[in-house]
Amino acid sequence: MASNQTLLTAGTEDRDLTRLEEYRAVGGYEALAKARALEPQAVMDEITAATLRGRGGAGFPMGRKASLLAKDTGRPVYLVVNADESEPGAFKDRDVMRFTPHRLIEGCLITAHGIGSTSVFIYIRGEYLHEFEVTRAALEETRKAGLLAGVTIVLHRGAGAYICGEETALLESLEGSRGQPRPRPPFPPVTGLYDAPTQINNVSTIALVPKVLELGAAEFAKIGVPSAPGTAVFSLSGNVAQPGNYERPLGTTLRELIYDIGGGVANGRELKAVIPGGSSVPVLTPDEIDTPMDYDSIQAAGSFFGSAAIIVVDDRCCMVQLALRAAQFYMHESCGKCTPCRVGTRWLVQLLTRIEAGEAAPTDLELLENVCDRMLGRSLCALGDFAVYPVSSYLRKYRAEFEAHVTGAGCPFVGESSIEGIIAPIAQHAHPVPEVVGG
C-alpha cells in the first residue's frame, strides 16, 4: 500500500492538468473510453465493487445510491454534482476543480454513461469564481475535442448559502426555488431534479471514478481500509504548522495527519482540541487522535468523518467562544424552513453569548444542553444536528471551561483567547439581533 499514491490529485504536482493535452498525457480520458465500451451496468458494478463511498460527508456508497435510481419512469435521468463546498474547514473540492477539472469532467461522463444520463448539472458554490472559470474552460476544451458524445454538462453557480450543500436543498436551488430541503421520502433517486430520478454526488466522489475504472475495483480496494477504500483529501487548518490539502489513504490516523504531515501544532503551542470532519462534527480531545480517519472508526470514536476537514485548536482558544462562533455560523446559514433549527440556532447563540459575557447562571448550562437535546434529530435536515454537535460536544468535553464562565469566575482567558472579539457575519447583518454582541 503506497502511502503517497494519489488518485484525485495525481499528476497535479508537475503538470498543469487544467489543460486537456496535459491531462491526456497522464492517461486522461482513457478510463472514459474504457467505460463507454462497457455496458452501463458493468460500469456501476465496478464502482459498487470498489466500495467507493461518497466524499461529501455522509460516506454513502456511490454504487448503492445509483442502484436506487427509479427505472422506466418516462423521465430523463439526471446527474447532479455537488460542488457547493461550504463546510467550515473544507477546501478539498476547490483543489479538484482548479487543478484537475478534467478529472471531474471525465468522472461525470463515465457516471453519466453508467446511469443512462445525458444531462449533468454541476452546482458550484458562488464564491468559487476562479474555479468556475477554470472548469468552464476545461469543459469547452472537452466539448471541442468531441468527448461529450451527446452529454450536456451545465455549470450552475450558487450564490452563497451553506444549506445548498444539502442534497435536496441543492435541487430546490437548482430548480429556481429558495434553497430549502425537501422531506424524504421521496428520495432523489426516485424524485429528484425536475421530479426525475437523480444521482447526486460530491465533486471528489465523481472525480475518483476515472481512477476506479483505470485501476479496477480490486486494485482500488487495496488502498485505504476495507470499509472505506481509496484515498481522501484531508484538509488541515487552524493552529497547525503546515495547513493545506493532503491526499492520503483512508485510515490514516489524526496523529499522523496533524504531526507527521501537518508539522504539528503551530508556534510550539499545545494541542487542545481536534474537529475531524469540519465544524459540523463533535470535537475530539488530544487523547483521541490515534483514531484512524475512516468513516467507521471516527464514528466509533463518537464523531464523524464528514468532509475530512481537520481543524486543529491550540490551548490559547476559549472553547465557549469557539462554540459561540460555530453557533453563529449555523444561525446565519439556517434556511429557516423548520422550527427546531430556525428557532434553536438563534436560541443557542443567545445562550452562548450570555455565557461568554459572564452573565449566565449554572441553570443556563442545563438549558443549553436541553435545547441541544430538543434540536437533535428533530429537524428537516442535518443542519439542525450540525448546529448541535459543536455546542454539545464542547460543553461535554470542556465542561470545566463552561462552568468557569457561569460561576462568577468569567472567561478563564480574560480577554486573551486566540479568537477574542471575533465578529461573525450574523452580528453585522442588516437586521441585527440586538442582544447578540458581536464580540
Question: Scanning residues 98 to 137, which ones bind other proteins (CB under 8 A)?
Answer: 125-130
- In the Cβ-directed half-sphere of 183, how many Cα atoms lie within 13 Å? 2
Among 33, 68, 73, 336, binds other proteins (CB under 8 A): 336
Q: Is 362 in the site for other proteins (CB under 8 A)?
A: no
CB of 97 to other proteins, least distance (A): 10
Piece of 3-11, 17-25, 103-111, 171-179 that binds other proteins (CB under 8 A): 171-179
Q: Residue 58, interface with other proteins (CB under 8 A)? A: no
- For 257, residues 6+ apart whose C-beta sits below 8 A from its C-beta are 234, 236, 246, 248, 293, 310
Task: Choose the binding region for other proteins from 13-21, 24-32, 53-61, 428-436 (rule: CB under 8 A).
Answer: 428-436
Query: According to the binding rule CB under 8 A, does residue 325 interact with other proteins?
Result: yes
Residue 276 near other proteins by CB under 8 A: no
DSSP 430: S
Specify the residue, 391 or 424, whose C-beta has the smaller distance to other proteins: 424
Q: How far apart are CA 315 and CA 77, in angstroms?
A: 51
Out of 150, 268, 408, 421, the only residue in the binding site for other proteins (CB under 8 A) is 421
Distance, in Å, from the CA atom of 100 to the CA atom of 15, rounded to the nearest integer, reads 10
Answer yes or no whether residue 179 interacts with other proteins by CB under 8 A.
yes
Give yes or no for residue 203 binding other proteins (CB under 8 A).
Answer: no
Nearer to other proteins among residue 206 and residue 317 (C-beta): 317
**Of positions 51, 142, 201, 235, contacts other proteins by CB under 8 A:** 235
Interaction between residue 358 and other proteins (CB under 8 A):
no
Is residue 29 within 8 A of residue 199, CB to CB? The reply is no
Q: What's the order of all strands across the beta sheet hosting 309-314?
A: 244-249, 231-238, 309-314, 271-275
Return the number of the residue (217 or 405) whose C-beta is nearest other proteins. Answer: 405
**What would you report as the CA-atom Rg of the chain, rounded to the nearest whole angstrom?**
22
Prior bond to 185 cis, omega within 30? yes
Choose, by CB under 8 A, the member of 25, 409, 423, 437 that binds other proteins: 423
Contact 199, 79 (CB under 8 A): yes
**Please, are residues 197 and 114 in contact by the beta-carbon 8 Å criterion?**
no
Q: Which stretch binds other proteins (CB under 8 A): 32-40, 63-71, 173-181, 400-408?
A: 173-181
> Whole-number minimum distance, CB 45 to other proteins, in Å?
30
- State the Cα–Cα distance between residues 346 and 330, nearest whole angstrom: 9
